[in-house]
A and B are shown apart, each in its own frame.
Chain A
């Protein structure tokens, strides 16, 4: 069985180092710093400290990481290597000295257009949620330009939406209205039609949705929006399910954000950096943030001349280092490779679902895309998740989407084969049996990780947020 490394590793400031020294610096006396409480260590002390900590951390390089809606696919090492070659470029360098970097951005924009069938892209947003926020600012600017922002105050989204959707819409100043799902796990069309009128600014949806179910009525949804003068927004978190099969453009979406750190294999870095390019169609291209990289036949340049631009949503040009990795990934796979990744991801998901559905409840319909949601028959989702860790696999996303109680949201991605999926399924089945025969095993899990189950109530009740706080 699995056993994670377990060190009693001190905090950085608990490691003994050299004493602090005073130095004389040319700053105004009243603004001079007196002391700085950061330890003075040798390089080997620092490297050992963080190497030990890294060994108490689980990454996709270790084993299966089936977090639903997170697309934890393998991160090819080629991409990591290439990104290093662009480390020491400043974004304000003269264009003639950064032609290679600009070409990568340009080629990435062009490739994303081909994948999504949108007319233009900005690479500026730093993450998926930041892309959503940018998209909502575009919705705002578009309706303002049309003189309709005063009345178009509402953004609609399904009750299965990612939490970032309502948060992004609200941040851009919209009211958020949730549309219920029907018994098949898809948007209730009647409810959507009834809620849509000239107060509607946009409808945000991911397709397939967070249940892993394809919204079969997507063309009808697009029609309802456009008939009412509203825009259709594609949350690209689940793009891994449709690459090369269909696209947001074909489905009638006006604005789309992608997650380079999900679909295009760039590593998640323990929470980030990501990158959330936003693509648009038609009139919306005139509202994109500046600059956009263009090519005049001889050289690449930064175009700040966008007619009704919303300005900037982030400094410089976005998370360039992440773009380089996604660029390398797409170049390597090509269109056919991307399509095969999607086919494999959907096959893996359905195979895994089929293997475990006798042991877990599968609400709604059977055929899923790249992910699916089940619930335990006789245990809490949290306990199943914790028990999974004991077997050296990461847990799925739990308690999401909110419309399924005790949800386990499972996305195996294409980076698994039948053998590793069978192993995972066997573990899931064993846990379902343990829940029956020896529920304590689940309730007291995990046993094999660096620490036992954490007390998160204590953490929130009496927050200790830095080493300056004492418990």
Chain B
């Protein structure tokens, strides 16, 4: 740049190398061997790579397993695309950042409404790390070290959980599900004791089952913390976990308006009761007033956080998923309560329609005799990984393959998700392809 010489001269330097005279010569690097490309070439190259993928518009796709392909209304994209939002940093200076602060306050409020809880933080990384943070919070609350999780907890989530709690000397134990794919209450009760820090229940669970026992769990837990994992869209029609005694509610916020984006960025929901707020991880936005007494918003209760409390913070989280929270609150605002209910219903109706088509074609679906939300297991006669690959030849992508033996009582099967993006013709395509390759 043309001003460089002037600036170096101002510094009394004759070359840029002098700016780095404090770096010992032994550690100087001989450049970085990466070729530069002009803007159009990068654009073109990226287009070529994008064309190597088949997304849900190229091929119907029945994958879910925790994150789901929902329609993102352009109004939501427009709001999130405001560069005043997406090019801002964490709102450390509240006076010049009211827009983001109020938006995140509204996000916290919307999550509190959906879950029924008193308070939600302004985001965690994803549902898996929310679970890890919930277990750590349970330890802060009761100093106990055992975390009880369902036997169908997906291995990836279990792995993240274990990594989050290993430093505290905590461990994980599994409780069984009953023949309907729901928490086996008697067995759970026997497992709960004075070492139990937390019991984790998913509703709907990994198999898509709406668990009818969730309101009978709080009473058998004593001092153990009751953490419920949710699909936030299901809460448009399902009772909020606060109403059946949850102490902590976590979930995957991607479902509310965030692109699925090959698995990230995602959005960890984290909500709890007011009396536990000081034990909670993550940023919180609070309402206050400015010097003129006008309503204002600000990051608050920061003494829980790493930049103040350092090694004694409730969590190390700093950068979070704020923009994903903006996606979510804009999505919820766009649909409103009525729209969310209709959307949830559409997802459930699609699941029921696909189940029926599969049954008519001779498949066992769903495997568990229960109400499901937008996902369920269909039994398959052979290795589901092979079937998944063969389906591609028929122009359709199946769900997540589950091998027999991975879970007790689950045969070779596939976990199929049906959001509003699935059309009846997509279902017909899947069913006829499944019939052919089975």
Contact = CB atoms under 8 A, between A and B. Distances in A.
B153 to A, nearest CB: 12
B265 A30 contact: no
Contacts of A271: 89-91, 100, 104, 122-123, 283, 319-323
Nearest to B266: A315
B56 interface: yes
A129 interface: yes
B434 interface: no
24 contacts: A25-B341, A27-B210, A33-B236, A36-B337, A67-B89, A78-B42, A89-B260, A92-B65, A101-B53, A163-B309, A168-B316, A271-B89, A271-B283, A273-B321, A274-B319, A328-B42, A331-B37, A347-B7, A347-B16, A397-B92, A418-B3, A419-B3, A449-B95, A455-B296
B286 A463 contact: yes
Contacts of A23: 237, 338, 341-342, 345
Given A133-B316, A313-B160, A334-B37, A56 B113 contact: no
A111 interface: yes
A179 B311 CA distance: 14
Contacts of A40: 336-339
Interface stretch (A43-51, A223-231, A372-380, A434-442): A43-51
Interface stretch (B124-132, B194-202, B359-367): B124-132
Contacts of B342: 23
B322 A170 contact: no
Contacts of B418: none
Contacts of B324: 269, 272-273
Contacts of A54: 79, 82, 84-85, 99
Contacts of A466: 105, 108-109, 112-113, 118-120
A307 interface: no
Contacts of A130: 125, 129, 316-317
A186 to B, nearest CB: 10
A418 B7 contact: yes
B239 interface: yes
A54 B168 CA distance: 41
Contact of B291 (A36, A52, A455): A455
Given A31-B212, A49-B333, A271-B89, A347 B316 contact: no
B333 to A, nearest CB: 5
Nearest to A50: B79
A246 B22 CA distance: 12
A419 B3 CA distance: 9
Given A320-B264, A465-B285, 16 more contacts: A20-B337, A23-B338, A36-B337, A47-B75, A57-B97, A57-B98, A72-B89, A173-B166, A214-B23, A245-B20, A250-B27, A269-B324, A331-B42, A451-B94, A460-B286, A468-B118
Contacts of B183: none
Given A214-B22, A261-B319, A453-B291, A31 B238 contact: yes
Contact of B53 (A33, A89, A273, A467): A89
A455 B157 CA distance: 40
A129 B316 contact: yes
Contacts of A98: 53-54, 262
Contact of B344 (A25, A91, A93): A25
A86 B262 contact: yes
B31 A12 contact: no
A21 to B, nearest CB: 5
A344 B19 CA distance: 10
Interface in A408-429: 417-419
Contacts of A169: 311
Given A244-B32, A311-B163, A335-B34, A60 B79 contact: no
B397 A88 contact: no
B220 interface: no
A62 B84 contact: yes
Could you say which of B48, B99, B400 has the most chain A C-beta atoms within 10 Å of its C-beta? B99
Per CB-CB distance, the 5 closest pairs between chain A and chain B, nearest first, are: A334-B36, A173-B167, A316-B263, A269-B323, A335-B32
A21 B20 CA distance: 67
B336 A39 contact: yes
Nearest to A214: B22
Contact of A346 (B20, B39, B110): B20
B423 interface: no
B87 A59 contact: yes
Contact of B99 (A56, A218, A321): A56
A312 B79 CA distance: 33
Contacts of A316: 67, 156, 262-264, 266
Contacts, number: 633
B52 A351 contact: no
A218 B286 contact: no
Contacts of B118: 465-466, 468-469
B305 to A, nearest CB: 8
A175 B249 CA distance: 30
Nearest to A51: B82
A454 interface: yes
Interface in A236-252: 242-247, 250-251
B101 to A, nearest CB: 8
B19 A451 contact: no
B311 A86 contact: no
A272 B194 CA distance: 39
Interface centre among B23, B168, B301, B303 (most CB of A within 10 A): B23
Contacts of B330: 46, 50
B10 to A, nearest CB: 6
A38 B323 contact: no
Interface in B179-204: none
A359 to B, nearest CB: 16
**Which of B54, B215, B307, B319: most chain A CB closer than 10 A?**
B319
Interface in A375-424: 385-386, 389, 394-395, 397, 400, 417-419
Contact of A128 (B237, B286, B319): B319
Contacts of A56: 98-99, 102
